[in-house]
Chain A
Amino acid sequence: EAQVTQNPRYLITVTGKKLTVTCSQNMNHEYMSWYRQDPGLGLRQIYYSMNVEVTDKGDVPEGYKVSRKEKRNFPLILESPSPNQTSLYFCASSFIAGGMTDTQYFGPGTRLTVL
């Protein structure tokens, strides 16, 4: 089944404790992206990747790191989480066609709470 998976789905952690949220897709998509969603602010793009070893900052990259060593995986790393990073996180992927992204498929979301 074609899908985007994220792990963990729920995470409660404490300030400063490094964490990684994994994202994996099985559709051979070139494009992958991370978003956070907060009440009243909607979805905001954190980082995106057009292909392996290529990553770019989105609207809100501060406090986050990503890597794209393999086409199927795009982990989101919080080196020193802070309470303002408490949010619902989504990973998404798509093909790139004609120089633009195609239909994006979203993962189920990761709800992160930083105490």
Chain B
Amino acid sequence: KNQVEQSPQSLIILEGKNCTLQCNYTVSPFSNLRWYKQDTGRGPVSLTIMTFSENTKSNGRYTATLDADTKQSSLHITASQLSDSASYICVVEGSQGNLIFGKGTKLSVKP
């Protein structure tokens, strides 16, 4: 069964610190993997998209990595800010255009 699992479920860090969120998937065939940021009650906003041939992609302080062999991805946030408090969702697209979402990691950045 196609699944996307994220860890941790929730995370609290201090402002200015770095953190790394994990994503494991079993989706096959695989088209691409993306990370979204979702503020409470709002629609997700895309951070990165990576195909199977890409190992890393950055968007400002966000850097995503992908290991297609082990089916793992990570999202690294550098020098966290209070505005980074949100849920971060890992999404895998299958070859038919279907999208499978992880349940997200809820990040809280404290001053």
Q: Using CB atoms and an 8 Å cutoff, list the residues of chain A in contact with chain B.
A: 4, 31, 33, 35, 40-45, 48, 50, 56, 58-59, 88, 90, 92, 96, 99-109
Nearest Cβ distance between residue B98 and chain A, in whole angstroms? 6
Q: Does B101 contact A (CB under 8 A)?
A: yes
**What 9 A-B pairs are tightest by C-beta distance, nearest first?**
A106-B43, A42-B103, A43-B101, A100-B31, A103-B46, A42-B101, A45-B99, A90-B43, A50-B97
If A101-B32, A103-B46 are given as contacts, then 19 extra A-B residue pairs at C-beta distance below 8 Å, sorted by A number, are A4-B43, A35-B101, A41-B103, A42-B89, A42-B103, A42-B104, A43-B91, A44-B101, A45-B98, A45-B100, A48-B97, A48-B99, A56-B96, A90-B43, A92-B43, A100-B31, A100-B51, A103-B49, A108-B42
Q: How far is the CA of A56 from the CA of B46 in the complex (A)?
A: 23
What does DSSP make chain A's interface, helix, strand, loop or mixed? strand
Q: How far is the CA of A31 from the CA of B99 in the complex (A)?
A: 12
Q: Using CB atoms and an 8 Å cutoff, list the residues of chain B in contact with chain A.
A: 31-32, 34, 41-46, 49, 51, 89, 91, 93, 96-104
Residue of B nearest to A88 (CB): B41
Q: How far is the CA of A96 from the CA of B49 in the complex (A)?
A: 13
Instruction: Knowing A33-B99, A42-B89, A43-B89 are in contact, say whether A102-B44 is a contact too (CB < 8 A).
Output: no
A-B contact pairs, 18 of them (CB 8 A): A35-B101, A41-B103, A42-B89, A45-B98, A58-B98, A58-B99, A59-B100, A100-B31, A100-B97, A101-B32, A101-B93, A103-B46, A104-B44, A105-B46, A106-B43, A108-B42, A109-B41, A109-B43
